[in-house]
Amino acid sequence: MIDLKGLLGQGNPPLVGIDISTSSVRLVELAQGAKGDIRLERYAAEPLPRNAVTDGNIENMDQVVEAVRRVWKKSGTRARHAALGMPPASVITKKIILPAGMSEDQLEVQVESEASQYIPFALDEVSLDFDVIGPAANSTDDIEVMLAASRREKVEDRVAIAEASGLKATVMDIESYAARAALDRVVAQLPDAGIGQVIALFQIGAQVTHISVMLDGVTVYEREQPFGGNTLTQDIVRGYGLSFEEAEARKKTGDLPDNYHAELLTPFLESAALEITRAVQFFYTSTPYTRVDQLYLAGGCALIPGLLDLVASRTRIASAVISPFKGMQIGSAVRESQLRLDAPAYLVACGLALRRFG
């Protein structure tokens, strides 16, 4: 079995959430605030060189380690324990039904036996974990258990990055689960705590948009589409003869020629809105659901001016840019004006940091 707290595990304070994506490393540290509230202590990000991480795979260990070291130092945290995420495509998850009343050791043996039916690798090549969800819906004598498994080398790569950076990986989560943990906090602040509301989350990454639809805390639909912010960066590279790194930097600062908005940005926004609209329609046609009550945008592209209004107009769904830190106290080291611009990109890192509170 996996020797961390687990792919589905719990963290102990103090803990930082570290999100290693295709384009950057992001860090979040949360703490217990007054009256039991959560406080955002600090957050930071460091860009990754192109191709250091590809499709969730660590391609250049040294570059990623250096970025983790820099982001840890930049943040000012002293926490050495870290929660890291695995890309959903790297993890096999399966709900299984087992008899109730077994000890932890008996459960472990039974889970390993069941896992061999679902995992297309030898068990000695796999990091395996499980979490008891609760009583099975149709039988009081059974329990529902979530099984999670990943190729061992993929887990070990992230553990090695933490250790080489001077940190200790104590939780290994699934990025989509971490995002959902952060989203659940936001949904709980909706009228009636969002009960009965169909919530769609679009996380627009550098290369991939991850779509999740939730109802009452349960994921009812998930899908990935090959569309992300790198599309716009590549357009800037071709349009103005810049390097990829320079194009990425200028995309964020807006330091581009006058024709950028009309010739590059507007077509990108149209494409993004079309991708999201098509994804919503595909959700309707491939599931029993016929409505979405609230749509959230997350990721670095979420705050591009014009995108939110365009998505709301095309989908005809109440839409918002998500802030995973909504309702939290803000620590003295955090600049609130900057946080408003950065927050949508920190959904996964925030969810990972929330593991501190179990």
N-terminal to C-terminal alpha carbon distance within the chain: 20
What would the two tokens of residue 172 be? Answer: 């290994």
Contact, 131 vs 8, CB < 8 A?
Answer: yes
Q: Is 168 a member of any domain?
A: no
Strands 168-174 and 81-86: parallel
- Final residue belonging to a domain, choices 122, 152, 182: 152
Order of strands across the sheet that contains 126-136: 91-99, 139-151, 126-136
Could you tell me if 225 and 321 lie in one domain? Answer: yes
Cis peptide before 14 (omega within 30 of 0): yes
H helix or E strand, kind and range, residue 161: helix 152-164
Alpha-carbon distance 245 to 236, whole Å? 11
| pLDDT classification of 258: cutoffs 50, 70, 90 | very high
Alpha-carbon distance 18 to 8, whole Å? 16
Comparing C-alpha atoms, which of 349, 6, 5 is closest to residue 179? 349
Alpha-carbon distance 57 to 112, whole Å? 26
Could you tell me if 249 and 314 lie in one domain? Answer: yes
Could you tell me if 135 and 246 lie in one domain? Answer: no
Residue 142, domain extent = 90-152
Could you tell me if 236 and 127 lie in one domain? Answer: no
Alpha-carbon distance 236 to 254, whole Å? 11
Could you tell me if 240 and 320 lie in one domain? Answer: yes
Is the pLDDT assigned to residue 2 strictly greater than 80? no
Could you tell me if 199 and 314 lie in one domain? Answer: yes
Could you tell me if 287 and 196 lie in one domain? Answer: yes
193-222 mean pLDDT: 95
Comparing C-alpha atoms, which of 175, 157, 163, 148 is closest to residue 82? 163
- Domain of 263: which CATH number? 3.30.420.40
**What is residue 300's predicted lDDT score, i.e. its pLDDT?**
87
Neighbours of 30 (CB within 10 A): 27
- Final residue belonging to a domain, choices 134, 152, 170: 152
| pLDDT classification of 6: cutoffs 50, 70, 90 | low
The letter for the amino acid at 15 is L
> What total number of domains does the chain contain?
2
Q: Is 173 a member of any domain?
A: no
Q: Is 211 a member of any domain?
A: yes
Q: Is 33 a member of any domain?
A: no
pLDDT top residue among 33 and 41: 41
Could you tell me if 242 and 144 lie in one domain? Answer: no
Q: Is 336 a member of any domain?
A: no
For CA atoms 243, 244, 245, 246, give the dihedral sign. positive
Is the pLDDT assigned to residue 10 strictly greater than 90? no
pLDDT top residue among 119 and 200: 200
| pLDDT classification of 113: cutoffs 50, 70, 90 | confident
**What is residue 103's predicted lDDT score, i.e. its pLDDT?**
87
What distance lies between CA 120 and its chain's CA centroid? 25
Q: Is 278 a member of any domain?
A: yes
Q: Is 333 a member of any domain?
A: no
Neighbours of 306 (CB within 10 A): 14
The beta-strand segments (E) located in 277-335 are: 294-298, 319-321, 329-330
Could you tell me if 253 and 318 lie in one domain? Answer: yes
- Domain of 140: which CATH number? 3.30.1490.300
Q: How is residue 194 annotated by DSSP?
A: G
Could you tell me if 197 and 311 lie in one domain? Answer: yes
Q: Is 80 a member of any domain?
A: no
**What is residue 7's predicted lDDT score, i.e. its pLDDT?**
52
**What is residue 337's predicted lDDT score, i.e. its pLDDT?**
92
Is the pLDDT assigned to residue 9 strictly greater than 70? no
Could you tell me if 204 and 265 lie in one domain? Answer: yes
Comparing C-alpha atoms, which of 249, 213, 243, 256 is closest to residue 229? 249
Could you tell me if 321 and 229 lie in one domain? Answer: yes
